[in-house]
Chain A
Amino acid sequence: MSREPDVVQPDAVTVTVTTEIDVAEARQEARRLALRHGFGTVRAHGLATAVSELAMNLVLHTARGGQIRLTAQDAAEAAVIELVAEDDGPGIPDLARAMEDGFSTRGGLGCGLAGTRRLVDTFAITSRVGEGTRIVCLVRRP
């Protein structure tokens, strides 16, 4: 019997998101990935919701959509999933305002970005007007 390695190959999924159907697919992938790596159903649901928010933003706020990338890495007794949402859309002129609860330029509830930050363990957003937006989140277990 060989010993289980402490770190195995990352488990990665990429979904190109341009329409609402892609959003549904991305969050299904997220949920499956989380369950596959030992996350509980609440955490899996939270991750799927974060993916849903970021993916829906790609559909609503960019002309050509973008990509959702999910990468899971297992370690001994732990796992981490990285969620990257990236687009080359219009960018966000005022990041601080966009992160506020209730701010929306499209008549939404405006809690997508702020809510996502609360759903994940680490949240980072970079955006350049005219170049695009990139959001990186981490979700950890245990």
Chain B
Amino acid sequence: MHGLGQILLQNRSGVLDAWLARLRDTAPGAQPASLQLLKLELGTLVEKLTAYFLAGDGDGAGPAFKSVEEQAATISAACARDGLTPMETATLILSLKTIAGELLDRETSAKATELYRMRTALDAGVDRLALITFAAFVETREEIIKRQGRALLDLATPALPIWRHIILMPLVGVIDTQRARQVMEWLLEALAREEAHIAILDVTGVPLIDSRVALHLTKTVEAARLLGSRVIVTGISPDAAQTLVKLDVDLSSMITRGTLRAGLAEAFRLLGRHPKDPIETSL
């Protein structure tokens, strides 16, 4: 496919310009900064593709194509991060077929059979790129989603030392098994670290308490008790309270209060002191 390589080599800037014009059409929402970066990456792809066609017979094998593949994966990861859809990304890569195809029709004086062979090689190459791009795109997205999941997990469960011997842990969002385990771990850790006697677990931000969540709460309360601490659960909504009664889960092992304020009052009562005690205000 030396001929195809030559044509690409002589027209690389034209190909790149046409491609960039398409990029603006396929992804009208893309940020200028990311367009700038994509421009560089697409330029590199055109170069590598040219080298590949110059070097071999265009059968999609060998180190030259490997390097093309890697570049395509880089581009698609960039597209995924910039929020392009898989459709837009694939369209972008596939549009190279049209651009280079038109170029071939215009620039070559080769015989029809030769032209046909070039087009077939071009199509096969770009089609493979599109597949690779798609796979790389999905991979990047999944990685992003996983990272976001981990970030949420980290963010959502701070243990705040709000008073001497009292920590507050506001839970926000769905408590699944993994979260529940983490909440328990962090709560116990924070109790030990802050030398706290009381933990207030506020569930105002938890949409629903079923028997599984109740089980996790109970376990947490029991584990805290082994450390010599008490847990006060606050923020169970009136809707949830009525449902819990019907479910008949046994919450007798834990102290519950409707509001955070009532929970705090209970905490002070348990500690046997008043929030205005001088030693506390000096903290």
The answer on A and B forming one complex is yes
Q: Is A20 a contact partner of B177 (Cβ separation < 8 A)?
A: yes
A109-B214, A109-B215, A115-B246 provided; 17 other pairs, C-beta below 8 A?
A27-B208, A42-B239, A45-B208, A45-B240, A45-B242, A46-B242, A46-B246, A49-B210, A52-B208, A56-B210, A108-B212, A108-B215, A109-B249, A111-B211, A111-B249, A112-B210, A114-B248
> Chain A residues near B237 (CB, 8 Å)?
45
A residues with CB within 8 A of B: 20-21, 23-24, 27, 41-42, 44-46, 48-49, 52-53, 56, 101, 108-112, 114-115, 118-119
State how many angstroms separate the Cβ of B148 from the closest Cβ of chain A.
Answer: 14
Complex CA distance for A140 and B242, rounded to whole angstroms: 17
Contact with A along B13-26 (1 / 0, CB 8 A): 00000000000000
Q: Give the nearest-CB partner of A101 in chain B.
A: B248
B residues with CB within 8 A of A: 174, 176-177, 208-212, 214-215, 218, 237-240, 242-243, 246-250
Select the residue from B214, B242, B246 with max chain A CB neighbours within 10 A: B246
If over half of B's interface residues share one DSSP class (helix, strand or loop), that class is named, otherwise mixed; here it is helix
Q: Is A119 a contact partner of B247 (Cβ separation < 8 A)?
A: yes
Complex CA distance for A101 and B246, rounded to whole angstroms: 12
> Chain A residues near B209 (CB, 8 Å)?
49
Q: Give the nearest-CB partner of B218 in chain A.
A: A109
Q: Is B248 a contact partner of A111 (Cβ separation < 8 A)?
A: yes
> Chain B residues near A41 (CB, 8 Å)?
239
A115: contacting residue among B177, B239, B247, CB under 8 A: B247
